[in-house]
Amino acid sequence: MKDRHGVKAVHTKSGDISADAFVLCLGVFSPLLVEKLGMSLPVYPVKGYSVTVAADDLPISPTLGGVDEENLLAYCPMDKRLRLTATAEISGYSTNHKPSDFSVMLTKARELFGDRLGASAIDYWAGLRPMTPTGLPIIDRAPVDNLFINTGHGHMGWTMSNGCARMVADMIGQKPLAHSNEGMRYGK
């Protein structure tokens, strides 16, 4: 909901929420909400796949996350589980998946961690990375008063989350930015 002073409230299932400032951070859905405000955001879905397996199945389970650069396979230990991710697919907003979508990833993962990877169970998942054409997120004031943008982090959203949150907090607090948003401006 917007009036001539900017965004007044966000309409939610639990009622309207009003605030002094609003941050747009809806991942791949960010462009869809602000279309109504006349804004155009170059953020597009890039699908990725992930499996989570039991660490106990592996002869040696890593204690730190890492990336197999040659095979573009990332892994992250999560207590008694190991989560792996790979693949970038441009195929719209669907998060559907089937077992064969994971076969290349599992083959590469077993080369790294042994044939028993996934022996007891495998959780399959697919999600959408909010990508921009430049690969950089959009961190800026919107052309609508009291609306700020923090979206489009693509495959690095977790990694960049603290730095980007700091930049947006500085913008809202009207402080000098701790990190420059050069190359991450709206419409530039």
Least distance in Å: CB of 155 to ligand FAD?
5
Give strand ranges (E) for the chain. Answer: 2-3, 6-7, 9-12, 15-18, 22-24, 44-54, 66-68, 73-78, 81-89, 122-131, 138-141, 147-151
CB 78 to ligand FAD: min, Å? 12
How many CB atoms lie under 10 A from the CB of residue 43?
A: 24
Looking at beta carbons only, is 118 or 130 nearer to ligand FAD?
A: 130
Query: Residue 116 or 157: which CB sits closer to ligand FAD?
Result: 157
Give whichever of 54 and 137 is closer to ligand FAD, judged by the CB atom.
137
- In whole angstroms, the minimum distance from the beta carbon of 37 to ligand FAD comes to 13
What is the rounded distance in angstroms from the CA atom of residue 164 to the CA atom of residue 153?
Answer: 9
Binding positions for ligand FAD, rule: CB under 6 A: 25-27, 29, 33, 48, 50, 74, 85, 127-130, 151, 153-159
CA-CA distance, 5 to 109, in Å (whole number)? Answer: 53
- For the CB of residue 29, give the shortest distance to ligand FAD in the complex, in Å: 4
